Each structure stands twice: as structure tokens, then as C-alpha cells.
Chain A
């Protein structure tokens, strides 16, 4: 399981990468592995939308299950990964790179404190089994 040290992690298996005031969001390597082969992804928010932490931002469907993706932080959507519609499998092959879902402008950077660091997230995944 890959958990890059520079990212922050949400309890519902989203990662956040912070650069200045912009947060990039996707789902973790653990999440993609649990889902197995992803066949469909739909980001259901658009550029300009204001998101509250916990809001449903995307749906991911694999051969096993359909799953909601939640906003790990609040903010305004500034960019959406349009590539995912035609190539959802990049979430399997590159969850922290090409598999990113959206970028938001943070409205409450204080929320980042409630997310896990890589070590805590790894422990959290282990506790939940494989």
C-alpha cells in the first residue's frame, strides 16, 4: 500500500495535497485496491461550486461496488479532472497522480488539522483489515 508522506488523509479514504491555498483531492491507493478495477467515475461537482467538508463530490464504480467520494475539506472548486470520464482506470494505476479528481481553493485551512498524516492513515487502514 502506497501512502505518500507529503499528503493528508481523510477517514473515508480521500487524500489531499496542499499547495498554497489550493488542495488537490483524490482517493487513496488503499481505496482503489479495495474497489478493484474501476470502470466508471463521475465527478458530480463543477468549477465554481462551494463545497462543505463531507459533501458528496464523486461516484466511483468498480466491478465490485459503487462508492461515494466525499470532500475532505471545504472550499471552492477551481478545477475538475475531465480525463477521468473516459479513462477511470487511471485511478487504479496512478491514484495520487493522473487519478486526481478535483482542486479546491480552501475556505477553512484549519480543517486540514483534522486529517491524518501518512503514518496515522496507514495504521488506520491496517486496523480495518486488508
Chain B
């Protein structure tokens, strides 16, 4: 049964909390601010608790089951991270406190900056951006500031491969650049001839994802970097897929100038509901001065008896602030905790198992689902969710049917260059048994697609809400808590 919205559960006059009489003088609100009506729901405490408990039980989450949502790296988020983030010394501080009273938090931020720099081969890191997309925006604004600082004002274009995530062209456009697409070649790499044709002295840079969104290591990466640098452009790395490279390859060593990290992917901080994202950005030495304001620095080195002194500093040619205060600090604590739990010697295990799991799963399903670019994959792979002999079935139907088997669906219809794309990323945290069961479900669904396509077309059947009308959902937006005409 669908759960009613909290506005439908309301009962006039019902109250959850009874406030005590004020023990300070009461002053009335100025009349111009006082409202006659305030359409907030009225419920008792238990109504509210039951409502949200029921909703949470209908939700699918990583703590409940396998979540192979490609490009999102839905790995398990260890509970020890949560414990660390709730330590009062981290959870109960205020961003306006004097620096000398939050030295522990600053030490953590400083160390995380240093660790991320070491992991990725960059010189400086900002922790400010609130997500990958804002990290991209930060990075592309740095590209812009870099060219401007050299009075190189012809550079108006950013190159974006056609396999890129939508945030790459969106970021470039929002930063005032013209987006120039380049095609992918038959083996899933950037087409070098197409790239060469776009390169001249109007190119500000390229946004490159490695491994790319097909889950493939960009085999031309060194050549792409060389060509773009030769044309005077900078190379931005979309680090969404860093999970596949941890401890194995450092993008800075490949020649990338800038890259964002998604702490909520690679470094196990929660996605969405569990907390906000965090998209730090690393830069090579020539761009350190452009980082957002402020970065955390070690003001005075310590010695055996005194701890170092940390503080905030504005980089000389900073592009300015990207986020209020210090960014999403709680996420930094979680990522710090995660990296500490693995340690420098074992971070590589993450990449090794992520890649092994993806290849294992790909080999289990490739007889039934066409792998778009059949190569050894990295942390994820893309198959076509379609068959010539089951013409009415689409990737979306397969995804919906997977929900009946109690799985979160993979990413659909991305990357755009694969027909009926299903993008599957198991992550390193899944066991062989879990992968085997998921492969079995996918294979069974492929059979159903041929014998009982209706079962897929009308799926999901076992979920609290059945097939939703996506067109209506996209077109008839209701973006307020109560219907406008009820006011």
C-alpha cells in the first residue's frame, strides 16, 4: 500500500510537543511578519516516527542489498566512519570558532589534503567542493584563471569526449566555455584523429575520465595528454572512477593538471540521504596558487614536544570561495577514517578487488548480454539491454524487473554512446556469492525477456509502488509541499 504523504496524514490541532511556558518576556512578531495560516502538517510524535520508519523500510539502500549503480561506486560505507564523525570533538565544533580551538579538525583536514595529493600524484588539494560536479566547476574555473593570468585570452573551448558524464559539458558551459565533442573509437578510447582535428590555440583544455564511463582504461591517455599540452591546453581529470586506480596509477603522474575526487564514491562516504557529498580537487604544482580560498596549511611545524599549528590561508591567485565555511567537514572525517583503516599498503586492494569483481561479473553475463566494448574492464562494464529477437524489451524493462529480484537496478541509458546501456559496477565490497546470485538473476531475466516479455514490460511487481509513469513525472512537476490551489 502506498504511504500517504505527511501532509495527508495531518489532523487539525494534533501536536507532538507541548512547549513549556516561556520563562523570558514574550514579544509578539511584528504584524507584517505574522501569518494567519501556516500549512504545516499537524501530527503526534508517534505518527511522525511511524511514517518515516515505514518510508525507510520501503527504501532500497546499500545496507539492505546489492547496488550495482554504474559510475556511482555504491560500496559499503563502514560504520566505523560514522562513529568517528560523531566524536564530539568533530561533531560539536562550530566553523566560526577561533582556529586555535579547532586544531584537531584542521590537522585532519591538512592530513587528508596531503593524503589525497599523495594518492593522486598532485601537489595541492582543496576539500571545499560539495560534490563531484562542483569539483568540476572548481577545476574548470581554475583552468580559466590560469589562462587569464597568462593573458592567453583566445582559449574559449573545452573538449569533452562523447562518452563523458553530462556534468562535464554542463560545467564547461557554465564556466563560459564552448563545448567541443570528440568521438570514441572502435575500441572505446578517445579517437585521436578526431581529437587532433579540434586542437588549436583556442582550446583551454580537455575533460577526460579515466577509466572512462565505458569502464575501460583510456589506452591513449598519454597521447591525449601530450597532444592537449602541446596545443597549450590543460587536462582536467574527472576522478569519478578513481576507485579502479587507487594505489595502482596516479593521474598526476600521467600528466593530468587537475582532478576531482568523489569522496562519496571512492572514499566510502554516504551518497545522498546519509549525508551530503564532497568533491575535493587536486592540482599540479603550476596551479596550486589558484586553489579556492581557503586551504588548510601548517603554519608552524611541531617537534617532539609541541604539536604543529594549523590555519587557513588564501592561495595567492585564488579563484575565491566555492563553498561556505570549510565545506562538508563530516565527510572529510569519514574519508580520513576510511583511508586510515586501509593504510597506504592496502589501499590498492580496493582497486584490485573492484576490478576483479567487475571482470568476474562481466564474464558471467556476457554470453547473454552483449558487452558494448569487449575488453578487459576496469571497475565497471556496460552491456546492451536489448536483443534482436526480443524487440519489445528495453534496458529500462530489465532494470525494473531486477527490482522484483530485490536488486537495485544498474545505471540506465548512460553512457549515451551505447544503445540501451546498462552500466554495472559491483564495487570491491561484494562477495563472490553475491555476484553469482546477481548474475543468475540477470540471466534469468534475459530468458524471461524472450519467453514472457510482458513480465518485464509491466515490472516491477513486488515493490510497494509498481511501474511509474516517467513521462508524467518529468512533465507535471509538483514542487511544493501543498497544492498551490489549497492556499
Contact = CB atoms under 8 A, between A and B. Distances in A.
A63 interface: yes
Secondary structure of the B contact surface, majority rule: loop
A110 interface: no
B476 to A, nearest CB: 10
B419 A39 contact: no
B89 interface: no
Nearest to B414: A65
A63 B166 CA distance: 14
B138 interface: no
A63 B472 CA distance: 10
Contacts of B470: 37, 63
Contacts, number: 24
Secondary structure of the A contact surface, majority rule: loop
Size category, A interface: 10 to 19
Given A66-B166, A130-B386, A37 B471 contact: yes
Nearest to B388: A130
Nearest to A128: B419
A64 B412 contact: yes
Contact of A63 (B414, B416, B474): B474
B487 interface: no
With a 10 A CB-CB cut-off, give which of A64, A66, A130 has the most chain B CB atoms.
Answer: A64
Contacts of A63: 470-471, 474
A65 B394 CA distance: 15
Contacts of B419: 34, 129-130
Contacts of A61: 474
B386 A65 contact: no
Contact of A40 (B386, B413, B474): B474
Contacts of B166: 66
Nearest to B474: A39
Interface string B193-210: 000000000000000000
Given A66-B166, A130-B386, A39 B471 contact: yes
A122 to B, nearest CB: 17
B413 A64 contact: yes
Interface of B: 166, 386, 388, 394, 412-414, 416, 419, 470-471, 474-475
Interface of A: 34, 36-37, 39-40, 61, 63-66, 89, 129-130
